[in-house]
Structure 1
Amino acid sequence: MKKAKKKYIKYFPILGCISTGLIYSAIGIIAILSLLRLKDGGASKNSLLAYVRDWPGGVLIIWAILLGMLCYIVWRIYESFRDPYHYGNGWKGLARRTGIGLSSFADALIAYSALVVLMGSANFSEDGSAQQQREMTASMLDFGWGKWLVVGLGLLIAVTAAVQLFYGITRGYRERLDIVKFSGKKKATIFFLGFTGYVARGVILGIIGYFFIKSGILKDSDYVVNTDKAFNFIGDHIGKIPFAIVACGIICYGLFMFALGITYDLDNDPSDPNFHPKKG
């Protein structure tokens, strides 16, 4: 018999996965529409949230997304410290747990953007402009140690990007998926979405991190890019096909997060007498 009560925190990742899925699916779709010249930019979380804010009930949607992201951040921190998936305290286990903690950084950026939009403390553009980020970076560069703060932020984003790539390639999310009874095709589809999504997210974060580092080293905030401008960089300097591939990958990441939320293994709990650690 399963435990009658579950820790409420175990439901946090479901809300977080759904919120993340909504954000990234929408960003990927907007990027594709921009590529097809059906929309003028806007493929960034800030622009997306500013756009949603103008919808009927848009503020409620943003509050729901903010709640979901906060729940997910709490869950990721819980995972890092409590180690419910038994990664252990060896160097490999600690590296994986650290990676989980770093992953919450990207989620924190979404939560911050949602909060700023709700508070009206910044006038985010709906066309994907990176002006707000550049103004913030310029303010940081005004301080004597600001250069290294910007470089450090870029390095943190770059490391997060590397974690995303590693996570997707190694299927580091598999412990969280309760898909044992799924058919082979369904499993393959979910793994494809996970691989493609995490790699695409890693590429975008890598570009953003690189330009933050460049901005800090050269003390020029004009180099800073957001997600929308990272897509523009791919389209302008690498090609339209890679742009489309990465945009589709971001949509895949959103779809994967929906699948993860639906199939999240809430019973992988060492406090449960029926718990059996997963292997492989």
Structure 2
Amino acid sequence: MNSTIRHAAHSARQRTPKWIDTYARVGIAAKGLVYLLIGLLAAMAVFGEGGKVGDQQNAFQWILQQPFGQILLGIVILGLLGYVVWRMIMAFKDPDGLGTDAKAMFKRAGFFFSGLVYLFFAFSAARMLIPELGSGSGSGGEGRQLLIAKVLEQPFGQILLGIFAAIVIGKGIFQLYRGITGKFKGHVDEQHMNHKEHEVYMKTGRMGYIARGVVFAILGYFLVQAAMQSDSSEAGGTGEALNFLSMSGGPYLLAAVALGLICYGIFMFVKSKYRYIPRVQL
């Protein structure tokens, strides 16, 4: 980013409503916390420290079991809702100026569906906190399988699910590409990072994106199996993907991916501080 662009970015940030800037950063950090806990709990399980290989639900449950857990989980829920708001702003307001061509609209659609996913995560956490919203013991896996079952019931449902599986696998490959090449630096103010922060940002970003790529590829494989067998129970989530790694590659492979997810969480913490939040016209 040259000096002219840096000055323009700084000027635009100054005009961004404070609540949007703050809420977006809190949301990015909340996403990082969820990934960090998923990776940490999986790593603890590998090394016999009492953790559990699981998904977002397990991370929320762990938070709830801590001192002041209800307050902490409430803060995480608010943070995740902040991330949802930011993703929707990116999808509909296009603050990064992606445009309206086919490639841009595909990315913006991705922001929208990402927002829906994290809205589901926030609601799942809220169900644990507020019993009136539904059974707190219900798993995210049940909701996922119900949704996939509904898709399979539709005309050409297997084909539709197969297309979605291909998209998920493609996302996994793209995540691997970004991790290997380091092409994840856009939209952050690297100039104001000190040397240590930049080093942490790059190293954790590489490891984090590679780990996410592996997980997404496995999730896509699960969806392929669900589509081929017309069986929603074949579709697994993050926890099932990590267990698949453990069974197929052993504890060392699981530990490596768990470490990568921890790194992704740390990466998101750094990104939450230095992400360029462009001007948004509401």
1:14-53 → structure 2 map (5 Å cutoff): 14-39=25-50, 41-53=52-64
2-structure distance, mates of 1:114, 1:241: 30
Aligned to 2:235: 224
2-structure distance, mates of 1:214, 1:103: 23
Of 74, 79, 83, 2:85 maps to 74
Aligned to 2:279: 269
Larger deviation, residues 19-28 vs 93-102: 93-102
2-structure distance, mates of 1:263, 1:36: 34
Alpha-carbon shift at residue 212 of structure 1 (Å): 2.8
1-structure distance, mates of 2:268, 2:127: 24
Distance 1:224 1:41, change over 3 A: farther
Aligned to 2:21: 10
Say which structure is richer in helix.
2
1-structure distance, mates of 2:143, 2:214: 19
Larger deviation, residues 104-113 vs 242-251: 104-113
Contact 1:47–1:124 (CA<8 Å) still a contact in 2? no
Of 197, 203, 206, 1:195 maps to 206
The AA in structure 1 aligned to 2:126 is L
Larger deviation, residues 219-228 vs 67-76: 219-228
Aligned to 1:61: 72
Distance 1:216 1:170, change over 3 A: same
**Structure 1 SS opposite 2:193:** coil
Contact 1:134–1:222 (CA<8 Å) still a contact in 2? no
2-structure distance, mates of 1:67, 1:146: 38
1-structure distance, mates of 2:264, 2:123: 20
Aligned to 1:278: none
Percent of residue pairs identical: 25
Question: Alignment length, in residue pairs?
Answer: 267
Aligned to 1:274: none
TM-score when scaled to structure 1? Answer: 0.78
Alpha-carbon shift at residue 182 of structure 1 (Å): 2.9
Distance 1:42 1:236, change over 3 A: closer
2-structure distance, mates of 1:90, 1:139: 33
1-structure distance, mates of 2:151, 2:200: 45
1-structure distance, mates of 2:147, 2:209: 27
Of 139, 142, 146, 1:136 maps to 146
2-structure distance, mates of 1:132, 1:102: 19
Contact 2:176–2:209 (CA<8 Å) still a contact in 1? yes
Alpha-carbon shift at residue 243 of structure 1 (Å): 1.5
1:186-265 → structure 2 map (5 Å cutoff): 186-265=197-276
2-structure distance, mates of 1:146, 1:51: 40
Larger deviation, residues 142-151 vs 173-182: 142-151
TM-score when scaled to structure 2? Answer: 0.77
2-structure distance, mates of 1:187, 1:95: 30
Larger deviation, residues 85-94 vs 218-227: 85-94
2-structure distance, mates of 1:80, 1:163: 19
Aligned to 2:4: none
2-structure distance, mates of 1:224, 1:182: 41
The AA in structure 1 aligned to 2:95 is P
Deviations 1:68-106 (A, max 9, x none): 111112212212332222333444444443443444354
Aligned to 1:276: none
2-structure distance, mates of 1:5, 1:61: 31
Distance 1:141 1:190, change over 3 A: closer
Alpha-carbon shift at residue 205 of structure 1 (Å): 2.5
2-structure distance, mates of 1:42, 1:204: 13
Unaligned runs of 5+ residues in structure 2 are 1-9
Distance 1:232 1:84, change over 3 A: same
**Structure 2 SS opposite 1:84:** coil
Alpha-carbon shift at residue 242 of structure 1 (Å): 2.1
Distance 1:105 1:217, change over 3 A: farther
Contact 1:124–1:132 (CA<8 Å) still a contact in 2? no
2-structure distance, mates of 1:103, 1:141: 19
Deviations 1:161-199 (A, max 9, x none): 445445545656533322203344532321221122122
**Structure 2 SS opposite 1:239:** helix
Contact 1:10–1:75 (CA<8 Å) still a contact in 2? no
